[in-house]
Amino acid sequence: MKTASNGRVILREARILPIKVSHDFLTNIVKLAHELPRIFHWLSFTVVEDEGFSIDFAYNHQRGQYNAEEILNELKRRKGFRVLGVTQVDLYVPSLNFVFGLAEYGGNAALISTNRLRPGFYGEPHDEKKFFERMIKEAVHELGHTFFLKHCPRSYCVMHFSNSIYETDAKKKEFCHVCKRELEEKIESIV
């Protein structure tokens, strides 16, 4: 068992893998690694680089997007209690036009795309705070699925399914009381 400098007990370590991101964007990923332990207090997050990780195979030329399922399958093979892939490319699954992210339910891997989280994607002015809030919400949501959490009917809960960016903006970055209780019960048996 490890203890963080602030006295927080760390039971497991999670990895954040930047995938096809610009060098400038790495600062956001480092900020994410510092923010996520506020919600997942039993985890520490480390940003890792994997030079051998390519997603070119998942690109669909007709759609101009990357298949999130194929990328997630590759992430599942990476070592780590939890692995969160973060990319700037646009993602889809065959049944949907796009996804903000995808996760292996009850598994070790999750993936988010920041492409459609940028206010500029919707013709809005640049807003770094709004962008980063969206990034946190999607990361927490997808990691929640890895801990067996399903979509929540409460629109303010981070586990609520976001069909649009406006639904992402409307929800909080934390779990509702029901999902938080479920998560704590799951954690006791997992960690």
Query: With 60 as the cut, is the pLDDT of residue 124 above it?
Result: yes
Task: Count the domains in the chain.
Answer: 1
Domain assignment present for residue 183? The answer is no
| Lowest mean per-residue pLDDT among 77-81, 123-127, 130-134, 176-180 | 77-81
Q: Directed axis angle between helix 26-35 and helix 128-146, to 10°?
A: 60
Q: Are strands 91-92 and 65-67 parallel, antiparallel or unpaired?
A: parallel
User: What secondary structure letter does DSSP report for 129?
Assistant: H
The enclosing domain of 58 has a CATH number of 3.40.390.10
Write out pLDDT tens, residues 22-59: 999 999 999 999 999 999 999 999 999 876 789 999 99
Which amino acid is it at 166?
Y
Tell me if 11 sits within 8 A of 1, measured CB to CB: yes
Q: Which two tokens stand for residue 78?
A: 């990476």
Read off the pLDDT of each residue in 110-115 and give the average, rounded to a whole number: 98
Confirm whether 184 is domain-assigned: no
Percent with pLDDT over 90 in the chain: 84
> Domain for residue 44, yes or no?
yes
Q: Is residue 169 part of a domain?
A: no
Expressed as residue numbers, the domain containing 31 is 2-148
Q: How confident is the model at residue 6 (pLDDT cuts 50, 70, 90)?
A: low
Q: How confident is the model at residue 11 (pLDDT cuts 50, 70, 90)?
A: confident
Q: What is the CA radius of gyration of the chain?
A: 16
Residues forming the active site: 142
pLDDT in tens, 127-171: 999 999 999 999 999 999 999 999 999 999 999 999 999 999 999
Residue type, 56: D
The pTM assigned to this predicted structure is 0.92
Q: Is residue 185 part of a domain?
A: no
Identify whether 7 is part of a domain: yes
In a domain, 180, yes or no: no
Question: Is 10 a member of any domain?
Answer: yes
